[in-house]
Homo-oligomer: A and B are copies of this chain.
Amino acid sequence: MNRERMRKEAREIFRASVEAADPSRCIHQNVRLRQGILHIGQAAYVLSNFSKIFVVGAGKASVSMADAIEQILGDRITGGVINTKYGHSCPLQRIEVNEAGHPLPDEKGIGGTEKIVKLLNEADRETLVLCLLSGGGSALMPYPAAGICLGDKQGITQRLLQCGASIEEVNVVRKHLSRIKGGRLCQLAHPARLVTLILSDVVGDRLVTIASGPTVADPSTFTDCLRIIERYDFMDALPPSVIRRLRAGAAGKVEETPKPGDKIFTSCQNLIVGNNRLATEAARAKTISLGYNTLVLSTQIEGEAREVAKVYTALAKEVISSGNPITSPACFIGGGETTVAVKGKGKGGRNQELALAAAIKINGLQEVVILSAGTDGTDGPTDAAGAIADGQTINRAKKQGLSAPDYLRQNDSYHFFKSLDDLLITGPTGTNVMDIQIVLVR
């Protein structure tokens, strides 16, 4: 039966995309040691030129990444410290693993970051520093500027977002309240040779954004911070220590974040080893082997999940009605990160909600299957990675007395798909390169 087969195929395609983004695999694909030369992307480092190799970093996938680095470099590693989320560590040979708070940073995170800074202080001209960043790297490497406490920084972030500031604006302010973000890690490692390996969980893979760009030049200034704070009429809400720092910075009395063109960046390589495109390309390869005409739409899909679902279903319907933009068997793949403006009291995640909204729109179409899932295996506060919907989903739900529009209204996609046994449950995958949507049409 085609529908069952297509559902199975959708799961296989998703699995292929997650496997491609496995952190260890991403490191091994990009980092190779051959005859004493460490090849990283297009660059090559002659190890005999270095007396020390340090490994630092932060993120939910940093342990897997560090483990792969240990497999490659073994006892050539002098030492290392990485921060990861509680419950995400496993013992490494030469690199110390610190567990810390995520998504809310905590004192344990600061403690681990202090160790990283201490290590970097020992770096010299003959040191190679490998920095491993992945999703969560910003919260997991907290290091507020002197006189500013974690709570202050968090409060500012949350309230700026509430005022309507963009995430880019919030990041400008955050970088100027940190001792490690906005290129300052690169400053700390100077004059060492620094290579940052990045598993990107950010739409568009902007280096300045991922983990707040600790090894990337920061074009923004203290003056920009003050301007943003004025724009959102936010001055009165700021702790005095923060106002003092920003004003002192704007007056040139606090050192700026390192700017584009700064010579410290000439000894720094930033390399994205894994991202949503890697995952969607693996998905594409899989779909082609399954015989689908495939279009990868974008790896930068954003928007309210239930509305994005309508665009995906519009594509599926067009294939059926006119054979455009590709003929069936057709597959559309998209990646990125949608959002959900929660209004109901149900349980769910952006991927499950997208699948639920899609189910409503494809109701009755015999041979359409839509899967949406997070590559990290987690979707919202649920144990599911996402869900899978097809043209029969709504009818099957009706037989159980479930009204899909009601569940959607309540943002209760989790219980809807749980009742139908249509949740996609993978457990934590160890990687995070945002979400994948797969639309199959036969």
Q: Which residues of chain A have a CB within 8 Å of any CB of chain B? A: 164, 204-205, 277, 295-304, 307-311, 314-315, 317-318, 321-322, 324-325, 334, 336, 361, 405
Contact = CB atoms under 8 A, between A and B. Distances in A.
Nearest to A325: B295
Given A204-B317, A308-B310, A336-B314, A405 B164 contact: yes
A303 B307 contact: yes
Contacts of A307: 303-304, 307-308
A370 to B, nearest CB: 15
Contacts of A205: 321
Contacts of A309: 303
A318 B298 contact: yes
A204 B321 contact: yes
Nearest to A321: B204
A315 B229 CA distance: 32
Given A204-B321, A296-B325, 4 more contacts: A204-B317, A295-B325, A301-B310, A302-B314
A327 to B, nearest CB: 13
Nearest to A206: B321
Contacts of A325: 295-298
B277 A298 contact: no
A177 to B, nearest CB: 24
4 residue pairs, one from A and one from B, having the closest CB atoms: A307-B307, A303-B310, A298-B318, A303-B307
The SS class assigned to the A binding surface is mixed
Given A164-B405, A308-B307, A310-B308, A318 B302 contact: no
5 contacts: A298-B314, A298-B324, A299-B324, A307-B307, A314-B336
A301 B314 contact: yes
Q: Which of A308, A311, A322 has the most CB of B within 10 A?
A: A311
Contacts of A302: 310, 314, 361
B310 A298 contact: no
A126 to B, nearest CB: 37
Of residues A277, A307, A317, A334, which shows the largest number of chain B Cβ atoms within 10 Å of its Cβ? A307
Nearest to A277: B322
Contacts of A311: 298, 301, 303, 308, 311
Contacts of A277: 322
A133 to B, nearest CB: 19
A373 B14 CA distance: 36
A318 B300 contact: yes
Contacts of A322: 277, 299
Contacts of A299: 318, 322, 324
A205 B321 CA distance: 9
Nearest to A164: B405
A277 B324 CA distance: 10
Nearest to A311: B311
Contacts of A296: 324-325
B297 A315 contact: yes
A307 to B, nearest CB: 3
A210 to B, nearest CB: 14
A175 B277 CA distance: 49
